[in-house]
Structure 1
Amino acid sequence: MSLLIKNGTVVTAVDQYVGDVLIEGERIATIGSSLSMPVDRTIDASGKLVLPGGIDVHTHLDMPFGGTTSADDFESGTIAAAFGGTTSIVDFAIQYKGQTLHHAWETWMHKAEGKAAIDYGFHMIITDLTDQVELEMDALVGQGVTSFKLFMAYPGVFMLDDASIFKALLRTGKNGGTICMHAENGGVIDVLVKKALAEGKTAPKYHALTRPVRAEAEATHRAIALAEMADVPIYIVHLSAAEALEMVTEARDRGLPAYAETCPQYLFLSDDNYEEPGFDGAKYVMSPPLRPAATQDRLWRGLAFNDLQAISTDHCPFCMKEQKSMGHGDFSKIPNGAPGIETRMSLVYDGGVRTGRISLNRFVELTSTSPAKIFGLFPRKGTIAPGSDADIVIFDPEKTTTLSVHSLHMKVDYNPYEGRQVTGVTETVISRGRVVIDNGRFVGRAGAGAFIKRSARW
C-alpha cells in the first residue's frame, strides 16, 4: 500500500518543518514539499503534528506478579498503546530460577505472537545467573534480545546479589548488550516492610513509607559504581527520586555512560495520592513509589538537560476489584503496578511541551528517538526519514480530552489520572505503513505486530 501524508508539521528530535511524507509498503520512501503522485490513500495533516511513532521501552503485559497477572495481555495492551500514539514496545521476558533464558524468551514470544497489534521486542529479566546463563546472554544478543534487566529489589523473587550483577555487567562488555537496573535496596526495604506490618501499619501508604528515597538513591549509586568498575554502560529504569537522579547526574558529569528513564506517574502524581479515602491509595502502589510533589520539578529539569534520557510507562495494570484488593489489611500483598501505556504521549505533551518545560523536539526525543538509540532500534525506528519504518503518529496539538477509565482502552477498572484534562491527542497512527488508528478508531489487527530484532552496542 502507498500512503501520502500532506501538509503536516513534521517533527523529529532535530527538525521541524511543514512537509509531505510518502510511504510505500512498510517504509518511508520520500519526504518533500508539494508532493503529488498516485497513491492508495492521501491523508491531509494540515494543522497537525506528524511525529515518529512513540516507543515505550518499559511495559509488563501478561506478567505474573504477586499471585495474579497484569490485566492487559499483548492484544489489549498493544491496542491501547496504539490509541495513545505508541507504535513499538519493549516488554520483559522473565527467567525464573532454574530456567534457561531461551525458555523464558520462547514463553514470552508465545504470549505476544498472534496478539500484538504493534511491533514488540523484549528485555530479558535474569534471576538466576549461572555460567550457562552467561553463554545464553551472548546467544540472545545475536538473536536481537540485546538488553537484560536485573533487580536489586524483591529478595527471594527477582533480586540478584552484587557479585552476580557485576558478572552480568562484565558479560555485556563482551557481547555488546545493555543492563537495565531496578535500583532499590531490597534488603533494607524488606526489613522496613516487616517492621511496619509488625507495628500494625497495613494501609497502602505504608508501601511508600517503607521504600524511602535513600533506598533508591543508594542502589542507583551502587549500580552505577558496579557498571563503572565493569567499564560498561548502565540504564536505570523507572527513576522516581530526586536523590537517585543526583547519582545519575553526578555520573554523567564525570563522563560515565549512565542512562535513566522516568515515568509519567512520577511527573504528574505524588505521595499525596496515597492519602485518598479508604483503600483508594492502592491504585498508586508501584515500585518505586510516588514521591513528594516537589520532586516533579527536579525530574522535569533532568529531562530538559538530558540527565534523564527517556520517558517510559512501566505499564503494569491490576484491577482494583479483583487484584489490588488482595492487599486489604496488608499493603505488602497489593500487586505493584499501574496503567499508563495509553496516556503517556498526551500527558507528556500537555504537561511538558505546552507548559514550556521541554521543547517539541525534546518531546519526540524522550518518547521515541532516544529510547530507539539506547536500545538498538534507530534509525529503523525513532525518526521520520527515508528508509525508516513507516511508524508515524498524526497528533492534534490543540484538541482537548478528559482522561477516564470509561474512554480509554486499557483492560483495567480505574485510571490514575481520572478526570484530568489534557490538550494534545493522537488522531491517526500508522504502524509499518498500515493505518491502525484512523481518526480515533482502531482499524488494525491483533497479531499484525512483529518481533523486532534489536542491535547490540557494536
Structure 2
Amino acid sequence: MSVLIKNGKVVTASESYIADVYVVGEKIAAIGKSLGVKADKVIDATDKLVLPGGIDPHVHLDMPFMGTYSSDDYETGTRAALHGGTTMVIDFILQTQGDSLANALKTWQGKSKGKAIGDYSYHMAVTDFNDDVAKEVVHMIKKEGISSFKTFMAYKGALMIDDGQMVALMKVVQKNGGLVTVHATNGDMIDTLIAKNKALGNRAPIYHYLSQPEVTEAEASARFTDMLHYTDCPGYIVHMTCEGALNAVRRATQRNQKVFVETCTQYLMLDASLYEQDFEGAKWVMSPPLREKKDQTALWSGINQGLVQVVGTDHCPFMWEQKQMGKDDFSKIPNGHPGIEHRMELLYSEGVRKGKISLTKFVEVTSTNASKIFGMYPKKGTIAIGSDADLVIFDPDKEHTISAKTHHMNCDYSAYEGKQVTGKTETVLLRGALAIEQGECKLKAGHGQFVARGKTSKVI
C-alpha cells in the first residue's frame, strides 16, 4: 500500500516545514514539496501537523499488582494509545523473585503476541540479581533485543533490590551496552511512614501522599546518580515528580555526568490537592504521588533546560471497583491511573499552546528522545526517508473534552474528566497501515510487532 500525505506541516525534533510525505509499504519513501507521485491513498493535511508516531516508554499492561491486574491488556491498551497518536509502547516485564528472566519473558510474550495492535517492546525488571541472572542480562541484550533493565529502590520483599545488587547489575549492563532504569524512591523511609500513619488510624488516600514526601524521591535519585557515576553506567530515572529529585540530577551535571530523566503527563498537570477529596482521591493514588505546584514549574523548566528528556505516562489503570480494595486502608489501593490515550493531546494543549514548550521540543519528549535513548533511532521516532511510517496527522486547533464516556482505555473513570483540550489526533499510520481514521481503529489485534532494540548511549 502507498500513502501520500499532502501539504502538512512536518514536525521533527529539529525543524518544521510544509511538505508532502510519501509512504510505500511500511517505510517513508520520500519527503518534499508537491511530490509528483501516485498513491493508493491521498490524505490532505493542509493546516494540520504531521508528527512522528508517539513512543510511550512507560506503560503497564495486564500487570499483576497488589492481588489484581491492571485493567488494560495489550489489545485495549495499544488501541487506546493509537487513538491518541502513540504508535509504540515499552512495557515492563517483572521478574518473579527466585525465578529467571527467561520465564518472565515467556509470560509477557504470552500477554502480547497476537493481542497488541500497536508496536511494543519490553524493559526487563530485575527483582532478584545474582550470578545466573547476570548471564541472562547479557543474553537479553545480545539475543532478545531487550537492552534496558528496570530496578526498584522501593517495594521491599517484592520488587526491591539492594544497593549492592544495583551496583553489580550496573557493571554488567555497562559492559554490554545496556541501560539501567530506576523507580527512585527510598522504600525503607516510605514503609516506616506508612506503618506510622496506619498505627495512628490515618487511612484516607491523602496519607498515601503524606507517606511519600519529596525527600524520599530526592534522596533515592541522588543515590542512584552516585551509583551510576561509580559504575560509568548509563541510567534513566522513570516518572520523576519533584524539584528535589530534579536538583539531584542537576548536581550530577556539575561532575559532567549525564542521567536521563522521564516525567509523566500527570506530574506536569495535576497536583496533590486532588487527594483531599475523601476516597475519591484514590483515582490519583500512584507511586510516586502527585506533588505540589512548585514541582510542576520545576519539571516544565527541566524539559526546557534539557534535564528532562522524556514525557511518558506510567499508564497502569484500575477499575473503580479495584480501587475499592483500599476503601479502609490507603496502603491497599492499587497504585496507578489511566493515561496512555491522552498524553500527546494533553502535552500539546498544556505545553505548546500555552507557550511552555516549543513544537520541536514536543516531538523530542513524546517520541524522538525515547527512540534514541532506548536504541530504536532512526527506525522509530522521526520523519525521515527509510524510517518506519509511524505518522500522526494532528489538528492543532480542534477543541474537545476528555471523558471516560468517550475514551478508549479500559477504565471506568478518567483522571482528567471534563478537561477542555485544544489539539487532537485525527489520523494515524502505523508502519504505513491506516490505524486510526475518523475516530475508528482500522487495525486488528496482532498487528503490533515486537521491536528489538539496540545498544544505548550516554548521549542523545
Q: For residue 115 of structure 1, what is the aligned residue in structure 2? A: 115
2-structure distance, mates of 1:318, 1:36: 49
Is 2:141–2:147's contact at 8 Å kept on the other side of the alignment?
A: yes
1-structure distance, mates of 2:156, 2:275: 24
Q: For residue 419 of structure 1, what is the aligned residue in structure 2? A: 418
Q: For residue 438 of structure 1, what is the aligned residue in structure 2? A: 437
| Residues 286-365 of structure 1: pairs in structure 2 closer than 5 A | 286-320=286-320, 322-365=321-364
Q: For residue 376 of structure 1, what is the aligned residue in structure 2? A: 375
Q: For residue 270 of structure 2, what is the aligned residue in structure 1? A: 269
Q: For residue 399 of structure 2, what is the aligned residue in structure 1? A: 400
Which digits, 9 at most, give the CA deviation of each residue in 1:398-447, with x for residues without a partner?
Answer: 00110000010000111011000000100000000001101221111111
Which digits, 9 at most, give the CA deviation of each residue in 1:300-353, with x for residues without a partner?
Answer: 000111110000000000111x21000011100000000100010011000100
Q: For residue 255 of structure 1, report the CA deviation from its aligned partner.
A: 1.8
| Residues 57-72 of structure 1: pairs in structure 2 closer than 5 A | 57-72=57-72
* Deviant stretches of 4+, over 6 Å: none
Give the stretch that moved more between structures: 220-229 or 251-260.
251-260
5+ residue gaps, structure 1, are none
2-structure distance, mates of 1:122, 1:406: 30
Q: For residue 94 of structure 2, what is the aligned residue in structure 1? A: 94
Q: For residue 283 of structure 2, what is the aligned residue in structure 1? A: 283
Which digits, 9 at most, give the CA deviation of each residue in 1:2-58, with x for residues without a partner?
Answer: 110000000000010000000000000000110122211100000100000000000
Q: Give the letter for the 1:185 counterpart.
A: N
2-structure distance, mates of 1:442, 1:457: 33
Is 2:391–2:429's contact at 8 Å kept on the other side of the alignment?
A: yes
The question of 1:173 aligning with 2:170 is answered no
Is 2:117–2:443's contact at 8 Å kept on the other side of the alignment?
A: yes
2-structure distance, mates of 1:312, 1:164: 27
Which digits, 9 at most, give the CA deviation of each residue in 1:160-196, with x for residues without a partner?
Answer: 0000000011111111110000000001100110010
| Residues 70-85 of structure 1: pairs in structure 2 closer than 5 A | 70-85=70-85
Q: For residue 205 of structure 2, what is the aligned residue in structure 1? A: 204
Which digits, 9 at most, give the CA deviation of each residue in 1:204-258, with x for residues without a partner?
Answer: 0000000010000000000000110001111000000110000111212432121
Q: For residue 34 of structure 1, what is the aligned residue in structure 2? A: 34
Q: Give the letter for the 1:227 counterpart.
A: L
Give the secondary-structure state (helix, strand or coil) at the position aligned to 2:59.
Answer: coil
Give the stretch that moved more between structures: 67-76 or 244-253.
244-253
Q: Give the letter for the 1:457 counterpart.
A: T
2-structure distance, mates of 1:270, 1:383: 32
Give the secondary-structure state (helix, strand or coil) at the position aligned to 1:80.
Answer: helix
Q: For residue 240 of structure 1, what is the aligned residue in structure 2? A: 241
2-structure distance, mates of 1:457, 1:92: 17
Q: For residue 148 of structure 1, what is the aligned residue in structure 2? A: 149
Is 1:233–1:256's contact at 8 Å kept on the other side of the alignment?
A: no
1-structure distance, mates of 2:256, 2:352: 28
5+ residue gaps, structure 2, are none
Which digits, 9 at most, give the CA deviation of each residue in 1:252-298, with x for residues without a partner?
Answer: 2432121110001101100000012x310000100000001221111
Is 2:242–2:296's contact at 8 Å kept on the other side of the alignment?
A: no
1-structure distance, mates of 2:437, 2:251: 45
Q: Give the letter for the 1:172 counterpart.
A: V
1-structure distance, mates of 2:434, 2:254: 43
Q: Give the letter for the 1:264 counterpart.
A: T
Identity of aligned residues (%): 52
Is 2:5–2:22's contact at 8 Å kept on the other side of the alignment?
A: yes
Is 1:232–1:257's contact at 8 Å kept on the other side of the alignment?
A: no
2-structure distance, mates of 1:297, 1:190: 28
1-structure distance, mates of 2:435, 2:91: 20
Give the secondary-structure state (helix, strand or coil) at the position aligned to 1:166.
Answer: helix
Q: For residue 255 of structure 2, what is the aligned residue in structure 1? A: 254
2-structure distance, mates of 1:420, 1:399: 14
2-structure distance, mates of 1:78, 1:101: 24
Is 2:178–2:234's contact at 8 Å kept on the other side of the alignment?
A: no
1-structure distance, mates of 2:255, 2:156: 32
Question: Does the C-alpha gap of structure 1 residues 356 and 253 become closer, same or farther in structure 2, counting only changes over 3 Å?
Answer: farther
Question: Does the C-alpha gap of structure 1 residues 98 and 345 become closer, same or farther in structure 2, counting only changes over 3 Å?
Answer: same
Which digits, 9 at most, give the CA deviation of each residue in 1:369-391, with x for residues without a partner?
Answer: 00100000110000000000000
Give the secondary-structure state (helix, strand or coil) at the position aligned to 2:293.
Answer: coil
Matched positions, count: 456
Give the secondary-structure state (helix, strand or coil) at the position aligned to 1:279.
Answer: helix
2-structure distance, mates of 1:349, 1:45: 18
TM-score (norm 1): 0.99
1-structure distance, mates of 2:397, 2:5: 19
Give the secondary-structure state (helix, strand or coil) at the position aligned to 1:50.
Answer: strand
Q: Give the letter for the 1:78 counterpart.
A: T
Q: For residue 135 of structure 1, report the CA deviation from its aligned partner.
A: 0.5
2-structure distance, mates of 1:66, 1:387: 44
Which digits, 9 at most, give the CA deviation of each residue in 1:46-78, with x for residues without a partner?
Answer: 010000000000000000000100000000000
1-structure distance, mates of 2:318, 2:311: 21
Q: For residue 451 of structure 2, what is the aligned residue in structure 1? A: 452
Q: Give the letter for the 2:162 counterpart.
A: D
2-structure distance, mates of 1:15, 1:266: 27
Is 1:436–1:445's contact at 8 Å kept on the other side of the alignment?
A: no
The question of 1:191 aligning with 2:187 is answered no
2-structure distance, mates of 1:253, 1:116: 43
RMSD value, Cα: 0.8
Is 1:227–1:234's contact at 8 Å kept on the other side of the alignment?
A: yes
Q: Give the letter for the 1:181 counterpart.
A: V
2-structure distance, mates of 1:96, 1:139: 18
Q: Give the letter for the 1:335 counterpart.
A: P
Is 2:272–2:291's contact at 8 Å kept on the other side of the alignment?
A: yes
Is 1:283–1:324's contact at 8 Å kept on the other side of the alignment?
A: yes
Q: For residue 358 of structure 1, report the CA deviation from its aligned partner.
A: 0.5
